[in-house]
Structure 1
């Protein structure tokens, strides 16, 4: 098995690469720049948004498996960015070149934003409608439909992962958990959160491990990459405050629902569990990792 990995420099990608390394897999990296600290792995310097000769690059890679993570993901801007349209084309050109060069199995990351978020129950691969409300979700949905059709015609297996907001070391500092840690460490002022909302939160280490598992097992079809365990945001805030030795009262006093923010956003992960995958971290363990990483990041800046 030789794995072609895109997006290894990204937040999720760094963790996926670590999980592939743990499995001792032969990995080839493809992207605009080589990930920091990865000098020992072969790297193909390709910008997927350019009109690059992907057939030549994929022929050089000689990969049997593809794990495609790369996409535009700048915090706060990716939801409605026109770059989503370019990534549809780039992803499909990459998949076409991979299969035409003899690739046999692919895993591509989608998003929970492909689903209809208007319901109250768990989002399930078979029963929840696919009705994205953002350009990002629509672009991922379109990519999935075309990728599945292409792979069926080529006799190639494809696992599509609906990823549900993994959290942990390396995530953007503007996101909710790093921002909460800054509040509880006294680095910023309290702000309001949608405390009554229910979310399914999966540590990024486990999200990455699930994708690596789908790759190694040769799984086919759609899979929710999520914890499957609903937790109220209010309880997450309290747990995080306890880890930081802080009082969450001032922050929770500002709690407010946000327009358009779904009350329940939790995936059903029974299909993923049925493949033999199991999470390795609890929610609290994932939060401890987040706090440790955030404190180290601030320490490095200060020194």
Structure 2
């Protein structure tokens, strides 16, 4: 097995790279720049949005497996960015070239934003696909095209729909690190929808899930989720407790935002059938994350693949 990994410098990609390395899987990572945390291995400098000849690129790499994570993901901007369209095109061109070059397995990162969130509990084969953003629409269109391309070449294609991820290296503006900053006194409290339930998965468990899809010959759509709804007010309370803060500083500000579903959780039965199980509870993950950031008192830099 020789894996071509895109997005290795991103929040998720760095953890996936670590998971592949621990299993001794030969990996060629691709990105615009080598991550600061890079510890060795093969890194190919390439901007997937600027490649003219994907056939030559895929032929040179010579990978048997493709794990494609790279996409535009700048916090607060990616939901309706026109860059989503460029990433859709680059992804389908990469998948086609990889299949033509003799690739044997494709795994691609999708998103829970492909679903109609009004249904709350998302099942791969039952919940309607009705994206509310350009990001979700571009991912959905890419899924359809990538699976069709792979079908034409007889190559299995697993599409992993990611729900809410947290852990070491995420952008400081995201919910968990932002709440930690509130209770450290480093930012002002902000309102959240405390009575909404969400599906959180630690990034290490997410990386293990992508590895399971890659090594298990998976084909089709898989939710990558904890399967456990967590109340946002409880997340506030856990983080406040770890940092000896007053949860009411945030909870008293809460107010419902229009369009936010009261429940968003993904069934993960299909993924579990591959032998995967989440290993880190959210309370465990929060303690680890906050302890690391408190001792270093700095967030890891955010990078993109």
* TM bracket, shorter-chain basis: over 0.9
Q: Is the 8 A contact 2:169 2:299 kept in 1?
A: no
Question: TM-score, structure 1 length as denominator?
Answer: 0.96
CA deviation string 1:70-119 (max 9, x = no partner): 00000000000000000010001110111111101010000000000112
Residue aligned with 2:221, SS: strand
Gaps of 5+ in 1: none
2:291 and 2:86 mapped to 1: Cα distance?
37
Residue aligned with 1:66, SS: strand
1:132-281 aligned at under 5 Å gives the runs 132-281=131-280
What is the Cα-based RMSD across aligned positions, in Å?
1.4
Moved more, 150-159 or 290-299: 290-299
1:287-298 aligned at under 5 Å gives the runs 287-298=286-297
Change (3 A) 1:300 1:204: closer
Deviation at 1:39, TM superposition (A): 5.5
Q: Is the 8 A contact 1:170 1:293 kept in 2?
A: no
**In the alignment, which residue of structure 1 is the partner of 2:8?**
8
1:300 and 1:15 mapped to 2: Cα distance?
16
Residue 69 of structure 2 is aligned to residue 104 of structure 1: no
Deviation at 1:297, TM superposition (A): 4.8
1:293 and 1:264 mapped to 2: Cα distance?
30
2:3 and 2:134 mapped to 1: Cα distance?
30
Deviation at 1:43, TM superposition (A): 2.1
Deviation at 1:38, TM superposition (A): 2.7
Q: Is the 8 A contact 1:181 1:294 kept in 2?
A: no
**In the alignment, which residue of structure 1 is the partner of 2:78?**
78
- Following TM superposition, the consecutive aligned residue runs of length 4 or more in structure 1 with deviations greater than 3 angstroms are none
Q: Is the 8 A contact 2:293 2:299 kept in 1?
A: no
1:42 and 1:287 mapped to 2: Cα distance?
32
Q: Is the 8 A contact 1:239 1:284 kept in 2?
A: yes
The answer to which structure, 1 or 2, has the higher relative contact order (CA under 8 A, 6+ apart) is: 2
1:19 and 1:39 mapped to 2: Cα distance?
14
Moved more, 181-190 or 106-115: 181-190
**In the alignment, which residue of structure 1 is the partner of 2:31?**
31
Change (3 A) 1:225 1:36: same
**In the alignment, which residue of structure 1 is the partner of 2:62?**
62
1:38 and 1:177 mapped to 2: Cα distance?
25
Question: TM-score, structure 2 length as denominator?
Answer: 0.95
Q: Is the 8 A contact 1:192 1:252 kept in 2?
A: yes
2:98 and 2:147 mapped to 1: Cα distance?
14
Deviation at 1:266, TM superposition (A): 0.7
Residue aligned with 2:186, SS: coil
